[in-house]
């Protein structure tokens, strides 16, 4: 019996390898699949036949493959199923549907009223998940699972928020609430880890096995990929870049420490500080006393990019601190790439060159090329797309394999 169970697990594992290779390359011949996965031809053929019968995979046009042999190319059936990504953040909810080929087929975002209790936020998140399921049903693509991501320390085994300083959450079993509503496999993950997965599977870090992602916002998150796997650390709290102390005498942080990076350049702090600076500003400015009171982060970005002197300096301050942290992460991890995300594309366009200058100045002057610093491919949508992408990994684990077979 044991041997049969093991054989079943090996076959599931090999099926997952084949599906993943096809997600990465879109179309491959059987010979290419064997080369890509390291499996032998007969194993590939047998699994492919099964997957075709299950409508998970299709044969496409007859043509020569890249190895030069004529044959039918294989591709995944995009409508076989989709996964749902849900991002619960401080001031918004986001949702996405990712089809079986990793294509984003639907996205939505809605603001959250400030000051809602965790229970109310969860209720809104569940309603948003229901909306995503309806969208999948409308497209006649069965939902296969749900990934929920939050800007918090997450116990992934329990699916619980251990501590979410910016959410104001502590010890909340997110998984239980979703499980009570949906009969689908569900996972809970940190938002920045999910963003790193999105970049690795679908974005700017495809084929990059060692990289660090920093994601800015109200909080500053991080995800570290080592040899193609998320580095989680002892308790799953690795890569909390936002809680690196940059000003030991600085402001109290929600995490219990003092002077963390996010108390210096987190969006909320930048907004508060910019309002104060503008109130005492003697230079000409587009802002009236009334508009200063209602100023938000996007207004500061826009004004900074339009050369408003106060706002421009604030954007440079963000870049300066990110540059210092990037140089330290470069020394610690010697990554192939560092990705900056979480910000809008237009802000990233401004930040990246500035970060490069600071990071270069404060990096070890070796003969190796400078750090490869790239903007996130998905900008503010990385985390929610990563949430949905992670579900496919979750599904390929043997315990859930009945959901895709
Ligand atoms: Zn902190």
CA of residue 257 to ligand 1 center, whole Å: 5
Question: What pLDDT, in 10s, does the model give residues 341-369?
Answer: 999 999 999 999 999 999 999 988 887 78
CA of residue 220 to ligand 1 center, whole Å: 10
CA of residue 276 to ligand 1 center, whole Å: 23
CA of residue 240 to ligand 1 center, whole Å: 9
CA of residue 262 to ligand 1 center, whole Å: 7
Same fold, 2-76 and 206-376: no
CA of residue 256 to ligand 1 center, whole Å: 6
CATH number of 206-376: 3.30.420.40
CA angle 283, 251, 352 (to 5 degrees): 60
CA angle 352, 357, 362 (to 5 degrees): 120
CA of residue 165 to ligand 1 center, whole Å: 8
The band of 75, judged by pLDDT with boundaries at 50, 70 and 90, is very high
CA of residue 391 to ligand 1 center, whole Å: 29
Tell me: pLDDT of 19 over 90.
Answer: yes
CA of residue 259 to ligand 1 center, whole Å: 7
CA of residue 248 to ligand 1 center, whole Å: 11
What is the mean predicted confidence (pLDDT) over 43-66? 86
- Would you identify the CATH topology of the domain 2-76? Arc Repressor Mutant, subunit A (1.10.10)
CA of residue 186 to ligand 1 center, whole Å: 28
CA of residue 94 to ligand 1 center, whole Å: 25
Pairing of the two strands 143-150 and 221-226? unpaired
CA of residue 247 to ligand 1 center, whole Å: 11
Question: What pLDDT, in 10s, does the model give residues 109-158?
Answer: 999 998 899 999 999 999 999 999 999 999 999 999 999 999 999 999 99
CA of residue 114 to ligand 1 center, whole Å: 21
Question: What pLDDT, in 10s, does the model give residues 166-193?
Answer: 999 999 999 999 999 999 999 999 999 9
Half-sphere exposure of 398 (CA within 13 A, CB side): 10
The structure tokens listed for 79 are 């409508």
Q: Where are the domains of the chain?
A: 2-76, 80-199+383-403, 206-376
CA distances to 67, 325, 330 from 359, in Å? 42, 8, 9
CA of residue 260 to ligand 1 center, whole Å: 5
Adjacent-strand bridge partners of 189: 149
CA of residue 192 to ligand 1 center, whole Å: 15
CA of residue 255 to ligand 1 center, whole Å: 4
The rounded mean pLDDT for the chain is 91
Indicate the pTM of the whole model.
0.90
CATH number of 80-199+383-403: 3.30.420.40
Residue 356's CB: how many other CB atoms inside 10 A?
18
Task: Report the percent of the chain where pLDDT is more than 70.
Answer: 94
pLDDT confidence of residue 64: 60
Whether residue 351 contacts residue 315, with contact meaning beta carbons closer than 8 Å, is answered with: yes
pLDDT confidence of residue 8: 67
* Lookup result for tokens 């079986």: 100
* CA dihedral for 171, 176, 177, 178, sign (positive or negative): positive
The structure tokens listed for 379 are 């900008």
CA of residue 144 to ligand 1 center, whole Å: 36
Whether residue 21 contacts residue 75, with contact meaning beta carbons closer than 8 Å, is answered with: no
Adjacent-strand bridge partners of 143: 82
CA of residue 266 to ligand 1 center, whole Å: 11
Whether residue 389 contacts residue 98, with contact meaning beta carbons closer than 8 Å, is answered with: yes
CA of residue 243 to ligand 1 center, whole Å: 4
The band of 223, judged by pLDDT with boundaries at 50, 70 and 90, is very high
Adjacent-strand bridge partners of 252: 258
């Amino acid at each position: 019996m044991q041997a049969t169970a093991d054989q079943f697990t090996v076959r599931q594992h090999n099926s997952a390898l084949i599906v993943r290779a096809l997600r990465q390359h879109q179309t491959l011949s059987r010979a290419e699949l064997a080369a890509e996965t390291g499996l032998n031809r007969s194993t590939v053929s047998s699994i492919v036949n099964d997957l075709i019968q299950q409508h998970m995979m299709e044969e496409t046009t007859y043509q020569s493959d890249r190895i030069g042999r004529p044959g039918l190319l294989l591709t995944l059936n995009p409508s076989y199923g989709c996964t749902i990504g849900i991002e619960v953040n401080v001031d918004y909810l986001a949702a996405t549907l990712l089809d079986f080929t990793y294509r984003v087929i639907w996205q939505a975002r809605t603001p959250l009223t400030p000051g809602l209790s965790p229970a109310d936020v969860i209720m809104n998140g569940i309603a948003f998940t229901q909306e995503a399921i309806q969208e999948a049903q409308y497209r006649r693509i069965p939902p296969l699972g749900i990934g929920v991501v939050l800007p918090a320390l997450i116990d992934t085994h329990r699916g619980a928020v251990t501590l979410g300083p910016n959410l104001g959450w502590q010890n909340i079993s997110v998984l239980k609430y979703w499980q009570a509503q949906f009969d689908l496999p569900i996972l809970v993950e940190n938002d920045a880890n999910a963003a790193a997965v999105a970049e690795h599977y679908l974005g700017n870090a495809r084929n990059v096995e060692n990289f660090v992602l920093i994601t800015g916002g109200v909080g500053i998150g991080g995800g570290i990929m080592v040899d193609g796997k998320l580095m989680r650390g002892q308790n799953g709290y690795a890569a909390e870049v936002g809680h690196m102390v940059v000003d030991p005498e600085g402001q109290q942080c929600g995490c219990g420490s003092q002077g963390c990076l996010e108390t210096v350049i987190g969006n909320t702090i930048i907004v508060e500080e910019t309002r104060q600076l503008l109130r005492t500003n003697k230079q000409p400015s587009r802002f009236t006393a009334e508009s200063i009171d209602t100023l938000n982060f996007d207004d500061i970005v826009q004004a900074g990019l339009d050369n408003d002197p106060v706002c421009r300096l604030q954007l440079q301050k963000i870049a300066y601190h990110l540059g210092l942290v990037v140089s330290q992460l470069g020394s610690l991890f010697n990554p192939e790439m560092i990705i900056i995300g979480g910000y809008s594309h237009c802000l990233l366009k401004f930040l990246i060159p500035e970060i490069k200058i600071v990071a270069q100045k404060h990096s070890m002057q070796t003969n190796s090329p400078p750090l490869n610093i790239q903007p996130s491919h998905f900008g503010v949508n990385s985390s929610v797309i990563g949430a949905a992408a992670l579900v496919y990994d979750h599904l390929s684990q043997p315990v859930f394999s009945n959901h895709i077979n």
